[in-house]
Every structure is written in C-alpha cells, then in structure tokens.
Structure 1
C-alpha cells in the first residue's frame, strides 16, 4: 500500500500503518535534536524533502522522486570588489519588495517582533509600504531578564512609530503548557524554542490571521554564534594534540552549569565537545542532545559518528570548494533551517490556525544570498555585515550592534524542577536516563537537550 498525509498524526490513522519504531533514527534524533533529510521515527515511513516531487506508478507501485529546486551556496567572485553601499541599497530594495509581496492579504496581518535584527528589518521595511500606525507587531516577554527581549522590541517599534503588543509569560504558564504543545507535534522535536514560538503564535492569532516572520535571516546572512568559533577551531585543531584536548575538556566540564541564556560556560563546553570530532560534523555535535561518545555509552547497538552524521558529511563532500565558514553557512541553510527552524514555525503556527510568511525566504533575497561572497556576511568578526549595513538609517546603531540572544527559555533551571521522565526508548541502556537526571540536577553535567528530547519523545503517540 501507499499512503500520504501532511503530518504523521494523519498518516498514523491509516489501518495499514506499521507502528514500528526505527532504532537507528531514534539515535539520530538524540544526536541532532531533530531528524534530518526525510527521516521519521518509524520504519518505512518518510517525509518528502523540501523542493522535491514524488511520482507513484499506479500499476507497478514503484515511486520516482527528484528535486525541482535546492539552495546552492555559489559565491560570485565578480562581487568580491562590489561596493558595500550599492549592495546594501540593493538589499534594502529586495526587503521592501519581499514585504510588499507578503503584505497582500484579505485578512488581518501582523509581524512577529523579537527586537532582533531580522524581525526589526521586516518591521522597518513594512513602514515603507504601509501607514506606520496601522502596522501591528507581536512580542512574547519573559520575567527572566537574560531571556527577555521585549524592551528591545518596544524600542524598535517606538523608533519605527508602529503599534507593538506584548504578552508576558510566567514560568508556571509555560511549564503548564509544555506537555500539551509537545503532544500536538505528532512526532518528537527537540528544539525547546518551540514552546515560546507556540505562545507567540497563539497570542498573535487573537488579533490577526497572518504573521510575517524573520525565519531564514540567520542562515542566509550568517547570524549564529558558532560562526565566531569557526576560525578559532581551525587554529585550535592545528596546534592542540588530541590527548591534551581531552584534558582541557575534562577541566572545563568541571565548571558549574549556569542557568543564564547562552552563558560562557555553555558556549565553551559545547565548543570543546565539537572539537573532539572531525570538522565535517563539529557543528551538529556542538548542537546535539547526545554526542557520539554518549550514544555509544547509552545505547546497546550504537551507531558510529559517521553514520549518525552522514547527512552533514555528505553535504561537505558535495561542496568541496567552500571555506570552513561557508561550509557552516551551508549546514545552517541546507540542514538546520528546513529540518528545525521551519518545522518549528510551521507546527507552532498551525496549532492555532495562524499563517506565517517568511520574508527572508523570498526567491529574490535567497538568490541574492546564494551569490554573495563570504566577506559580506561575516567580516572581521561581525556577523550579518551587509544586512546591518542595509539597515543603517532604518534602525538606531545600538539595536544593530546588540548581541544575538535567540528565542530561548530557562530550560536548564526548569528541567531541575521537572519529574524524572523515563519513556521506553528502544535500545537505550537501563539506568542511562536516571543517571543523566541525577547529574543534571546536581549541576555535575549539562544534559539539558537530551532531557528535553526525552520530554518530546515521551509525547509521541502510543
């Protein structure tokens, strides 16, 4: 038989659906915090990759699939000497054009506003095509200051002379919503920012039916923190012996885990964990729930690192001419964006019947970024160089120069208050979960993403 649906929850209602979990993909889920490239948690059940088609032969039952489009990072060398101001002007034009296209709506429309560069750029571009007081934006605020960006969002809205609305969430409100939101996913999903994204979608849906989002800005223009570590990593690998690296990592792991958002100890520990593996897989290992050594320790039939991260390795092999930083941008755009960020936004908004439109994924902006040389994305330690250049005059300098915070929640601290969840995970060595909970609660180890992955896995329909 052959069956298809837009979500797994629909597909699982088919009487012919085999509810057999795939142990290899379960390990991949804990290694990535999501499943890359068309995989699911079930055997003989696959997702259609982005930009793809599939044709079923009704007589033979055979299927043929292919891609009609794929992002390809192909820097244009002729642009190396391009004038910054001319490129910035072109990007401003493209942003206004992309927002204008997405402002076409016969229902109420608004903008997600975090106070970061991407959503602020969209708000300012909207001010060039619509009456500013009529433009509505929506922000989620947190009482925990290291996670809250509502004050920055308010500053941007005041500068743009638009109408911003904020909903502040308490820790208890968010904790009470976790199990319900995870259960609506119909499959495990390990990005904890799903929770505030769902709350933002619910808040916006009370007022509008369509919302513009800044998804894709970090991937296309180079906004993620790990990009700062690419060059230091290359130097570190060149001079640091493997045995000495192991000692350095053990010492750094003794640092107590901070509960602050993107704390120094967290970044340092993650950086060192990735440096224990080949460069092709250091990024997914930096971001993993369990690194390959832990997969080997916790599972009775563990996959090796090359198998766990075969998708990242294949991506590097298909792009041999790119620099280390360009390979990282390629990873974020080809793997992280479609399998994590866009899945999160789509599921969170659809939970509340809200349509979201990603401005930065406009065809013309994407083509502009495909050809853009590295130096216009990352220059002298400055991320999103050309985007910030384009926003000069649109936004005050202190907004443009603020560090990236991300849409996080106080996950580390919350997990210490949650009960020990031990779902039956195929192949997991008994006692592994209890050990991680114990070490995490005593601050002897940082297992926040693995423990969160377990929360998500536990919500998988029986």
Structure 2
C-alpha cells in the first residue's frame, strides 16, 4: 500500500502535546438494519458511556455509503470521546486523510510520532495537523498493518478504509489499552469499544455470561484475553489486530499478532556486564524522557520499590527534581506499609513529595465504589490502593509514570525464585507428594499479614505437581482449576464440558491456552526464565496489572504511563541472560546494580513487597456483612452461575478462621457485585 503525494509541511510545527485520555467506540456491518436511522444514536450512547475517558470533546462519523449498497459494501460508524486536547480543530476525531476515504479513532499516545511523521513526509504524505493520530492515518496508507510495529506507544484504534471496505482494529504490543469487540449476526456485524460496558450497551450484543470467562476470573484473578466475561464479546490480545473485510456481503475476518514472541536480540545478549548495565541505564533514561512529553502537570507513582524509584531517578536526570511531583500512599497495617521507603527516595532525589494514608475505614468505603465502576470484574484486591492512589494523584497532575513491567522482564516476583525450588522438587520427587504436603500446611494457623510464611507455603505447595504454565498461576493467581470448577453451578460445569467436547482443544480450554502460550514463548527462549517472563507479560501483566491500572486511572481522568515497557528498554531486558535478572536469591539484579549509587542502600536491598491490602482480615471483620450480602444464597440462586452450597461452605470456613479463603471469596464477590449491578435483581 503506497501513496505518493507532493510534500507539504504540517500547518503547525510538531510540538509536545497534552495527553489524550480517550475512548473509542463503533460498529461495522453488512446488515442494513444495523445501519438504520437509529444507528448513529446507538453508537453515540456507547461513546457517551466513555465520558470519564474523554469528557472534553466527542465526535461521531458515519460512512457515506448508500443504504442500498450496505448489504454488499458494508458500512461503518466511529465514535470518539477525548480529554485534554490542544485545539478542537487539530485534535478532533474521528480524523481522516485528505479525501476522507480513511478515517480513524485512536486512544493513546505514540511517543515516536515525530520520527514517523518525517519519514512519511519524505515519502510524499501531506499533514494537516500536528497530532500523532494523523501519523497513523498516513502510516496505514503507506505500510498497512506494518505501521503498528513501527509505533512506540500505547493505544487501541480503529481505522476504516472506505475504498477497500476494510476495518482495522488493533491494540498496543503490551496491552496497556484495552479493546473489546462484540460479534453479532454470525460475524456480519462487529461492535467495538475501549470498555466492555460500551459494547454491551448495543442491542446487537447479548449480555450472556461466558462460563470460560468466569472460570478464568476464578483461576487467574482476571479474564484472560481473547475472552471477556461476556459470551459474545472478545478482548483483543496484546499486540494483535482484527481485519474485517466486507467482501461483497460475505465478510472475511482475519485475526493476527503483529507482535508475536521473538528470539532475544543475539547481539545485545553478547554485551559484557559493564556495557550491558551502561546501555540499560541509557535506555531507561530515554524511555522516561519520552514519557515526560506533556503540556500538563505530570507526576510519578512512588512505592519505594526499586522499579518506581529508578523511574523517579531517571526523571530527575532530564528534569529538575524539585519540579517533579511524586505520590505515595501508606497503610495503617505495618506489614503492608511502604510509605517510609517512598519518603526516603523522594528526600534523596529532592522531589516534591505527596503522601496520604489509606486507613481501613477509607478502604472499606471504596469497595462498593470501585467494584461498581469496573466494566468487567477484576479479582485483584490491589485495585483498591491503586484506585485511591490515582484519585490522590489526580488532585495535582494529569499524567503519572509508574514502574509496571520491571517485575516481569527482570524476574522480580518471588515466584521466579520459587521456580528454581520447584524444579528441584520435581527432580527429587517431592512434587509427587503435593497432596499430603498440602494437607500438612493447611493445618498451619492462618495469618493475615502481608506475605506471611503460612500464606507463601500454602500457595507454593498448591503449585507443586502441576506443569510450569499452571504452577505459576497457582502461585500468583487465584484458585487451581479443579477448585474453581467446584464453585460453579453444576449446569455451568456441564456446559463447560460440552463446549470443550464440541469445539475440541483450543480456546475453550483455559489450561491448554496457558500451556500453548508457554510453549510459544519457549521456542525462541534460551531457558525457562525467558519463557516465564513472556508468559507473565502476556497474561499477568497485560490482562491483570495493566487493566487494573487503566481502569483505576481512567476513572479519575488520569493518564498512566509505563516507561519500563518502552520497546527499546524491553528489547534489551529480554536480551540480557538470566544471570542479569536473578542472581542467587537476588531478583532484578541489573536494576539493583544501576541503582546502587543512585538510591538509598535500604531501597536497593529491599525484597519485593507488593501492593496489597489486609483482605483476609477485612473479609472476616468490617467487610463481613457486605460479603455475606453480596453472596447471599437467594442472590446466587437467582443468578444460576455459582454453586450455592460450595460458596456458603467457603464463607463458614473463612469466618471461623479454619481456612484462609480470601482469594476465592474476593473473586466470587467481585463477580457477584458486578453482575448484580449490571443486571438488577440478581
């Protein structure tokens, strides 16, 4: 796809831009009834549900195809909501090319848009604005889907090519921005949006629950893409695209990964220790510098851990530390509190530090608010402090940088060290004894402290005897698959079994999906740890952590940026051998080496603590009444999705302190609260 045009410079010189916290929505179909006189209004309703992502500007565009031609040529409607624009003319969306035949709605940021712009101008493309969105329009004309791989940024987008009658839907390589697609009329109609709630608002989409999505929520703490919690709605995978072609009324849908697993860079892998650390530091500073581009107040989430502390240090290399706002929260439970460490880093660097305590009473009041605002249930309880932190930061800034990605690519989670222990257990035959070991550790007294010994031991033993792809999710996720299935209504369990028999192995089988991803990452990997990093990034990071941050930040109209997921930084991180990441019992070794002379020694040596809350104690104490109400037998019976007796048994065991069921009960309550809100009466 190549187009040559006379060179003309942009009307306004490219410059730094205000961030675009946006939402996109739309529809494409070859069914005339889906594009009738009310079609625009239906998409406008979808768009307006995204108001927190974009309250300042909104747009709607409809393909001018004649009604008589829809059945053969198809038609498209695009909707857009935007916050914090530079000017209504230059940044308004949907945005088109010179003749309007290509239209785009785009949510996110392209950090290398200036370089791409110059390349496209040299190829003859004309620009009318200084927006990065227009770079994607001309990039599609010039390179087709290859434009996606050229982008350094975060995004979800939809591009309608009126000449070809094609719709492209795509999501960024690490899944920082979500994109949901509802499939109706046997694929003749697609309904898409940045949030699930907007998709399900369209009458073409059923709100029937996908039992596989519910199982995923219980097993992983989140719904793994490409599924959603709804049967007819898919989630685009990170680094993937859908290409819909009208094809004379018989649509063709092509799905693919524009960012598949690749082998680590061989040349970078050969760098000696000194050169590798120097290059890593340089790429860190560049990654942070790219994400400091904004015309609005900007800050940094500072937990006191190595990742966010290094991000703050790097920011202080390109800006005056005194002009950098850092934000931290503390807890009234010392086993969860990290405020002292964040304060020490801020003082060391000289940032303008802000701190607020999240006391138990405030956390508890957040629960209904947070669960009610989620467009899809999420069972990670750290959504509560993340939500609080985003609201706190938004009082002063519009953009915030965080440290997400460091734990995945530099093997920071305790489960990576546990992998080594697990391999020894396999070799010695200890894994064969996981059932009696499980029975033994279950006798240990329950502690509700953060990462208590009994909690770690019980999670570790649960993973023994399982293949690596499932073992790690037993360690960091929710419930083992067998236990999760036991909590589902017998009819739901039956439908799952029938679905797998009818469809055969593949997307219907969560265990097989995880194992297939594990094998895909193992092919180009040098060792298990390379593959594990990819597995964690694909699921735990993309479908869990980043979605948590996206929902919490967008609910407060705050844009969150992740410099440790810069493609150039990740390229080097992946290339570094395992010894640069996990050396003995020291995780994130390379990052700690960089930090050694830049941060307080206590920060450099700190083990990972995590961003948790004392959930187990809350569910037995101040949240007990709410928990029993949301999981009341009569509610669950009306819902028809959960096994009432099994759920009540968990409640009794947790109440008495016999067993710590915090993970299962929070996941069940998160789903039940979401369902009861989305379908009153359940």
Is 1:396–2:585 an aligned residue pair? no
What's the CA shift string for 1:269-322, capped at 9, x where partnerless?
A: 000001032233101122332212313433322668993322220022222454
Is 1:337–2:541 an aligned residue pair? yes
Once residues 315 and 8 of structure 1 are traced to their aligned partners in structure 2, the CA distance between those partners, rounded to angstroms, is: 24
Q: Mind listing any 5+ residue stretches in structure 2 that lack a counterpart?
A: 1-188
Q: CA deviation at 1:183?
A: 1.2
**Could you tell me which residue of structure 1 aligns to residue 179 of structure 2?**
none
Q: Which of 247, 259, 284 in structure 1 is aligned with 2:473?
A: 284
Is 1:105–2:294 an aligned residue pair? yes
CA contact (8 A) 1:23 1:426 kept: no
**Could you tell me which residue of structure 2 aligns to residue 459 of structure 1?**
673
Q: Which of 291, 294, 316 in structure 1 is aligned with 2:518?
A: 316
**Could you tell me which residue of structure 2 aligns to residue 433 of structure 1?**
647
Structure ranking higher in strand proportion: 2
Q: Which has the higher contact order (CA 8 A, sep 6+)?
A: 1
Q: How does 1:304-453 map to 2 (within 5 A)?
A: 307-318=509-520, 319-320=522-523, 321-417=525-621, 418-419=624-625, 420=628, 421-422=630-631, 423-424=635-636, 426-453=640-667
SS in 2 for 1:211: strand
Once residues 51 and 331 of structure 1 are traced to their aligned partners in structure 2, the CA distance between those partners, rounded to angstroms, is: 14
Q: 1:296 to 1:169 in 2, by over 3 A?
A: closer
Count the aligned residue pairs: 461
Is 1:96–2:310 an aligned residue pair? no
Larger deviation: 405-414 or 450-459?
450-459
SS in 1 for 2:401: strand
Q: CA deviation at 1:144?
A: 0.7
**Could you tell me which residue of structure 2 aligns to residue 135 of structure 1?**
324
SS in 2 for 1:254: coil
Q: CA deviation at 1:351?
A: 0.2
Q: Which of 232, 235, 244 in structure 1 is aligned with 2:421?
A: 232
SS in 2 for 1:46: strand
CA contact (8 A) 1:437 1:451 kept: yes
Q: 1:308 to 1:444 in 2, by over 3 A?
A: farther
Question: What TM-score comes out, normalization by structure 2 length?
Answer: 0.65
Once residues 431 and 539 of structure 2 are traced to their aligned partners in structure 1, the CA distance between those partners, rounded to angstroms, is: 28
Once residues 168 and 194 of structure 1 are traced to their aligned partners in structure 2, the CA distance between those partners, rounded to angstroms, is: 16
User: Which structure is larger by alpha-carbon Rg, 1 or 2?
Assistant: 2
Larger deviation: 315-324 or 403-412?
315-324
Q: Which of 377, 383, 397 in structure 2 is aligned with 1:208?
A: 397
| CA RMSD across the alignment | 1.9
Is 1:20–2:224 an aligned residue pair? no
Once residues 644 and 669 of structure 2 are traced to their aligned partners in structure 1, the CA distance between those partners, rounded to angstroms, is: 17
Q: 1:241 to 1:204 in 2, by over 3 A?
A: closer
CA contact (8 A) 2:296 2:398 kept: yes
Q: 1:430 to 1:367 in 2, by over 3 A?
A: same
**Could you tell me which residue of structure 1 aligns to residue 197 of structure 2?**
9
Q: CA deviation at 1:427?
A: 4.2
Q: 1:12 to 1:85 in 2, by over 3 A?
A: same
**Could you tell me which residue of structure 2 aligns to residue 40 of structure 1?**
228
Q: CA deviation at 1:163?
A: 1.3
Q: Mind listing any 5+ residue stretches in structure 1 that lack a counterpart?
A: none
Q: CA deviation at 1:426?
A: 4.2
Q: 1:143 to 1:90 in 2, by over 3 A?
A: same
Q: CA deviation at 1:385?
A: 0.8
**Could you tell me which residue of structure 2 aligns to residue 273 of structure 1?**
462
Larger deviation: 30-39 or 312-321?
312-321
**Could you tell me which residue of structure 2 aligns to residue 66 of structure 1?**
256
**Could you tell me which residue of structure 1 aligns to residue 444 of structure 2?**
255
